[in-house]
Amino acid sequence: MRLTLLVNDERHELEIAHTARLADVLRDELGLVGTKIGCGEGACGACAVLVDGRAVNSCLLLAAAAEGHSVTTIEGISRDGLTPLQQAFIAEDALQCGYCTAGQVVAATALLAVNPSPTVEDVRAGMVGNLCRCGAYPGIERAILRLGQVAPA
């Protein structure tokens, strides 16, 4: 089927299978490989992207269903250089192998957008869909909390 996707503020006309997942389209058709696939079943969050500002699992989302919405990937988030959140990830060593990291950054970006000063509990509840096999969680938690502290009250 034909469809138009708005990704990182750019419009793309595509011809895809109707069951194609957004994650595969981003990676294979648009070359946006910062979005990772860890499970393809909604269980890990490595594929997280923003759809209209909300973080979703792009491995389960039909690309067709994303038409008419605005998709932002890790490349879009990083377009104007590293965000303070990404810098905090580095400073707190919130990553090891880095495979989950794009998804973590996307999910944390969405979390901070609605809750600029989260508590530890907010961070844990808000990030629970993003697994990290390396166990970088303590750093991820510290990085997000650090952002909360510098955010304007």
Ligand X SMILES: Cc1cc2nc3c(=O)[nH]c(=O)nc-3n(C[C@H](O)[C@H](O)[C@H](O)COP(=O)(O)OP(=O)(O)OC[C@H]3O[C@@H](n4cnc5c(N)ncnc54)[C@H](O)[C@@H]3O)c2cc1C
Strand locations in the chain (E): 2-7, 10-15, 48-51, 54-57, 70-72
| Beta carbons of 72 and 49 less than 8 angstroms apart | yes
Shortest gap between Cβ of 113 and other proteins (angstroms)? 12
Cα 148 from Cα 151, distance rounded (Å): 5
Among 17, 113, 150, 151, binds other proteins (CB under 8 A): 17
Segment 27 to 46, residues that bind ligand FES, using CB under 6 A? 37-40, 42-46
62 binds ligand FES (CB under 6 A): no
CB-nearest residue to ligand X: 42
User: Cα separation of 67 and 134, whole Å?
Assistant: 34
Which of ligand FES, ligand X, other proteins, none interacts with 151 (beta carbon under 5 to 8 A by kind)?
A: none
Helix axes 84-91, 137-150, angle to 10 degrees: 130
Question: Which of 1, 19, 28, 43 touches ligand X (CB under 6 A)?
Answer: 43
Q: Do residues 34 and 47 lie in contact, with contact meaning Cβ atoms separated by under 8 Å?
A: no
- Binding residues among 102-141 for ligand FES as defined by CB under 6 A: 132-134, 136
- Which amino acid type is present at position 147? L
Among 47, 102, 123, 127, binds ligand FES (CB under 6 A): 47
Beta bridge partners of residue 64, listed in sequence order? none
The correct pick among 98, 115, 117, 122 for binding ligand FES (CB under 6 A) is: 98
Should residue 42 be labelled a site residue for ligand X when binding is judged by CB under 6 A?
yes
Q: Tokens at residue 31, please?
A: 């070359």
Q: Which residues of the shown chain bind ligand X in the complex (CB under 6 A)?
A: 42-43
